[in-house]
Amino acid sequence: MATGETGFDDVTFDLISVQYHSLKAGHDYGQYVRDARNAGEDEIAEFFERVMAEDSARAQQCHAFLARLTRDGTDATSPQGDAG
């Protein structure tokens, strides 16, 4: 796999990025749900809750992929990671 400027392979970096942004968005959506509920817009609040659940599932899937790609904190695509 190609190694990006970070020293991590591109796929690992991409998964970490998606996971981070999904978790960050989920945090923000909590405020959106509260705003909609405070405005009496339950349908919109439910929409934000669905979006939040989708991002949570996305972050969990990234976590599972990262676990598959790494062993003991070592990038599985490195020669050391392939030895185990």
pTM of the model: 0.70
Work out the end-to-end distance of the chain between its first and last CA atoms, rounded to an integer number of angstroms.
18
pLDDT at 60: 97
User: What does the domain layout of the chain look like in residue ranges?
Assistant: 11-72
Alpha carbons within 13 angstroms on the beta-carbon side of residue 25 total 18
Mean pLDDT per 10-residue interval, the chain, length 84 residues: 60 94 93 97 98 96 94 53 42
- 1, 79 in Cβ contact below 8 A? no
Q: How far apart are CA 36 and CA 44, in angstroms?
A: 6
* Side chain identity at residue 35, one-letter code: D
